[in-house]
Structure 1
């Protein structure tokens, strides 16, 4: 009989030694008054898994697990005031750095089966999502006159389907501006939508040895420098493959090299998709398929908004919001690792819902992941059971 809750077993998958090193290096446990960084992390992960709506819910929820707290590395249930205070004051960078530490270990387990390309370049998908906030409560999140928001710029690793980089800005930041801090990996390829068709930005990527596949704007002015012959009787969706130079003088000053333009017919949406790239050797079909993978980042944004707790917040300060977002990303990393461990073919939404329902149930985690609908073994009859009175 397992004597540890499902939530405790999930927490045990985390590398606490790495977290302790980060805590020590950043000094985040100074003056903690009994509510240390690890307890803070567990509290905010509980907020995500249980979808707690307030700091009171977090405190009361953990209090209901009395007797199992030591398995999570917690000695005392945090009060709602302690959670609120530390959300405001403990630097969110601790949780950000821990996400990337876990990405190196758990991220390898959370492998995501994808369409394989015959290219050696690492594939990254770039986009942003807007998270709305009430300006009366979140006055630091400038967006519109009567509305607040933040933008979450994400560089998604195609292989693991997990963020390799996240930049969170206020809602006013233009999409292309939020991409200037994206870390660049030489010989990798970045796939993005037309909002990132910024020739100064593309020139920086090109100068750093990074390939790009971008949907260009409809008003792009260019001069055709010759078409590339398309294969006969194959890839009929490719309409044109050509070399171009930018015509507009201001654009040409930002990006003076030749570009490759590929136009693709999208049968599903009955539209033409026009792409530009600085990659001259891959086939037009590969360029087309690379852009098609961009949909994975839209799916990722939908997953975190539907399944995790990032559309409403238990704290109103900027630091509290950042902590909740980074612990949400840690949670999605854990969930995808659990999916990879399981023999049962879980949908992410079902896995989240089932964990929420069974969060303090004492059952073997691996057994539950593999066979969630199996009935428990029958209990042996007790010979001392009292007889029927009536």
Structure 2
């Protein structure tokens, strides 16, 4: 069970004045039935950190947890009916705005050191969509197929820090290419996507805006080779062939007729071949392959969201309740990653979540148990 002393330290990361301004903007405390927006936020974050399976678990957990709820800024633990009501009727936009405000004021004010791509002095964005399956008979508003339901998280992840700078939540049947143009990338940035996003009109738009893209070329793509480079030196780096190409047929009409780069890469670990497509003709071929390799970070992010926070199952069935749970999960993972970055100890995210859930675990220091402190000095 989450210890309130630890939980209150996590909540203290949220600027209460910032939160009050957002509450006033959205008028979310109007007709609040005695459960204000802060109590609502604390309850939903408690849901994520304690892995609560129902509104009853949230209510009973807050009532039974050792500590004074006043430390959380909460007057009393809400009942399960209170939580169900506010999840259905209090707009999720408050929590969406809070996430992006915290991202701007808490997270992005710090420098994020890259573990890879250090030679690339540009912003890198990873774009993908994550599916969360839902039971259609319960969540009848989230249709994917005739017998299945789902919501889809259309996400743009900033490679520096690996948190979303954009997210649009739709029902599961909306294809990712339909939302590709929803986010405007800054000039000079690098956009990394899988081939599900390969729409030549959109790629041409990125190029005309001065952005670079790295993706995988579609099977059966029609093109003509202008130049082709092969060498033993390239092969040692896994590069089978490095080509400058132009698109043919209808694809050429959709794109802007400028040359493209197609890098044929062999992964010695898996034995698989990959064909990368980019509009940057100046990078080393090995860098193109490495840039696409970093796309895996967005898969890791989705896994953290589903496995470390409460996003694989929901405590409410209305669309608004699901949206609230997703946006508060993003707030939760932002706070966790901030703790991870500022912590005295070198935690991985799963161990940090476990420690928050069981705060009597002592992080080891030189093989011995250390003192229980969250932040470094």
Q: What TM-score, normalized to structure 2?
A: 0.91
- Any idea what SS the aligned residue of 1:213 has? strand
- Any idea what SS the aligned residue of 2:290 has? helix
Structure 2 CA distance for aligned equivalents of residues 192 and 74 of structure 1: 43
Matches within 5 A, 1:368-383: 374=369
Structure 2 match to 1:218: 219
Residue range with higher mean Cα deviation, 229-238 or 86-95: 229-238
Structure 1 match to 2:254: 254
Structure 1 CA distance for aligned equivalents of residues 15 and 364 of structure 2: 23
Structure 2 CA distance for aligned equivalents of residues 112 and 149 of structure 1: 35
Instruction: Give the C-alpha shift of residue 178 in structure 1.
Output: 2.7
| 1:35 equivalenced with 2:26 (yes/no) | no
- Which protein is bigger by CA-based radius of gyration? 1
1:267-294 per-residue CA deviation (whole Å, 9 max, x = no partner) reads: 1121211011111222212111101111
Structure 2 match to 1:186: 187
Matches within 5 A, 1:173-212: 173-212=174-213
Matches within 5 A, 1:100-249: 100-108=100-108, 111=112, 113-228=114-229, 232=233, 235-248=236-249
- Any idea what SS the aligned residue of 2:240 has? strand
C-alpha contact (below 8 Å) 2:242/2:285 kept by paired residues: yes
Q: Which has the higher contact order (CA 8 A, sep 6+)?
A: 1
Structure 2 match to 1:75: 75
Structure 2 match to 1:349: 350
Q: Please identify runs of 4+ aligned residues in structure 1 that moved more than 3 A.
A: 108-113, 228-236, 368-373
- Any idea what SS the aligned residue of 2:176 has? coil
Structure 2 CA distance for aligned equivalents of residues 183 and 369 of structure 1: 42
C-alpha contact (below 8 Å) 1:212/1:278 kept by paired residues: yes
Change (3 A) 1:105 1:230: farther
Structure 1 match to 2:332: 331
C-alpha contact (below 8 Å) 1:88/1:317 kept by paired residues: yes
Structure 2 CA distance for aligned equivalents of residues 10 and 373 of structure 1: 26
Instruction: Give the C-alpha shift of residue 149 in structure 1.
Output: 0.5
1:143-162 per-residue CA deviation (whole Å, 9 max, x = no partner) reads: 01111001111111111011
Change (3 A) 1:46 1:226: same
Residue range with higher mean Cα deviation, 142-151 or 227-236: 227-236
Change (3 A) 1:111 1:350: same
Structure 2 match to 1:384: none
Structure 1 match to 2:9: 9
C-alpha contact (below 8 Å) 1:110/1:337 kept by paired residues: no
Change (3 A) 1:370 1:91: farther
Structure 1 CA distance for aligned equivalents of residues 232 and 147 of structure 2: 54
Instruction: Give the C-alpha shift of residue 227 in structure 1.
Output: 2.5
Aligned residues: 367
Structure 2 CA distance for aligned equivalents of residues 288 and 296 of structure 1: 15
Structure 1, unmatched stretches of 5+, are 378-390
C-alpha contact (below 8 Å) 2:124/2:191 kept by paired residues: yes
- Any idea what SS the aligned residue of 1:91 has? coil
Structure 2, unmatched stretches of 5+, are 373-377
Instruction: Give the C-alpha shift of residue 207 in structure 1.
Output: 2.1
Q: What TM-score, normalized to structure 1?
A: 0.88
Change (3 A) 1:373 1:59: farther
